[in-house]
A and B are shown apart, each in its own frame.
Chain A
Amino acid sequence: MKVQDSVYNQSLSDLVPSDGDRKKLEFLADKTPYRSGIENTLHDAIDALFIEAALEESVNSDEPWCVLAILSSIDGVMIGGPFASDAALYDRRASFVKKVSRMVEPLCEPRNPDLLDWLARITYLPNYTPESIAAWWNRISPEQKCDLCPGTDPALSEDIHDLFGLYRTEGASPLKENISVPAGKDLVLSLS
């Protein structure tokens, strides 16, 4: 367990008051091979709920953190996953990219008609903010602004490894299809 003091244990009891649910949480933290403690398990569980809500279109918000979290959730499942060719998800992504554009554009110097196209091509990570995206745009060259696959912001894609525990620092995505499956076990995709 990453944090094992009494305050944390008391917090855990407050957060997850049901004995059965706490047992499940501890089981996931201890017995599943890619998790690194209760805190990371809780993070993963909440992230998974959020991703599920984002994919089910039950999340719609204009708050910057939420718009960017939805985009990172969508990108997480679209890249190399079973949703890669999901047209509805592309449309949904495009609508959220427009929201990002409205947040980022006032922060960009100089303003540029290529911004929206570039915002549509970048890959969103959970730690992006409108300010960090604008800073990325402002520091790249005009040629880079036309890059067909800009990928992720190199300045922030390393930082993200500091945000999470072992599971994510090893490069694994929260998506189940990227988790290595023990020998002899079948792989089943389930986001719920």
Chain B
Amino acid sequence: MLVDLNLQNAIETGLQDYLTRRKLYFHAGLTPGKPGVGDAFKTAVNSQFESDILLLLPEAQDEWCMISQIIVFRKHLDSLSAAQRKHYAFLLKGLACLIEPRCHRSVGDKVNGVSLGLLNWLNLTSINEKDTAEILALNWDMEIPHMYNQVPNQWILHDVSPN
């Protein structure tokens, strides 16, 4: 496998353990379609992020991190434990609080400061890594108003608590 010299230097600086470097090159060579070392790093970082998020449920304050965590939880929505569901609901609630001030259309009734309509919409709408609170607020403004003015799933509603 050919690796560009700059990248090779970067790997040797960033990954000082020889065995780990071999594993990286080996994995890069194994990956279907031969996408190379860069994609192997990307896969490694994303896999580790997913694993740690599911295991440790770390708090997230930044919107990028809430969004990235929500995306991870959605991949495993059918098999989440009670604590993971609670954390997912906590993330949705946190993100809803960041989106709400940016919305121009009414967000409807609130429970403990969180709009149920916005929360329900957020739970159902597709979210991707490049989304921000600003983009999601624009998307909300463009939705048909009555579509999401319904009560969210009971377990999400249950976790909409003051704290």
Contacts and interface: CB of A to CB of B under 8 A. Distances in A.
Interface of A: 7-8, 10-12, 14-18, 20-21, 23-25, 27-28, 31-33, 38-39, 41-50, 52-53, 58-59, 61, 65-66, 69, 126-127, 163-164, 176, 179, 181-182, 184-188, 190-192
Contacts of A27: 49, 58, 65
Nearest to B25: A46
B44 A49 contact: yes
Of residues B26, B48, B65, which shows the largest number of chain A Cβ atoms within 10 Å of its Cβ?
B48
B151 interface: no
Contacts of B49: 24-25, 27-28
Contact of B56 (A61, A127, A182, A192): A182
A38 B22 CA distance: 18
A163 B24 CA distance: 17
Chain B contact surface mostly: helix
A14 B7 contact: yes
Contact of B13 (A7, A16, A49, A185): A7
A21 B50 CA distance: 12
Interface string B68-85: 100000000000011110
B65 A69 contact: no
A45 B42 contact: no
A14 B10 contact: yes
A59 B14 CA distance: 25
B38 to A, nearest CB: 7
B131 to A, nearest CB: 11
A10 B44 contact: no
Contacts of B52: 28, 32
Q: Which 5 A-B pairs have the closest CB atoms?
A: A14-B10, A45-B44, A45-B48, A186-B83, A11-B10
A186 B84 contact: yes
Given A48-B47, A48-B51, A192-B47, A11 B14 contact: yes
Contacts, number: 144
Contacts of A8: 13-14
Contact of B50 (A10, A44, A192): A192
B47 A52 contact: yes
B40 interface: yes
Contacts of A43: 15, 17, 20
Nearest to A22: B45
A154 B99 CA distance: 57
Contacts of A192: 47, 50-51
Nearest to B81: A186
A12 B14 contact: yes
A23 B65 contact: yes
A50 B26 contact: yes
B30 A59 contact: yes
B70 to A, nearest CB: 14
10 contacts: A15-B41, A21-B46, A43-B15, A43-B20, A52-B47, A58-B30, A59-B26, A185-B56, A188-B84, A191-B51
A66 B26 contact: yes
A110 B48 CA distance: 45
A23 B26 CA distance: 25
B20 A46 contact: yes
A103 B22 CA distance: 19
B48 A190 contact: no
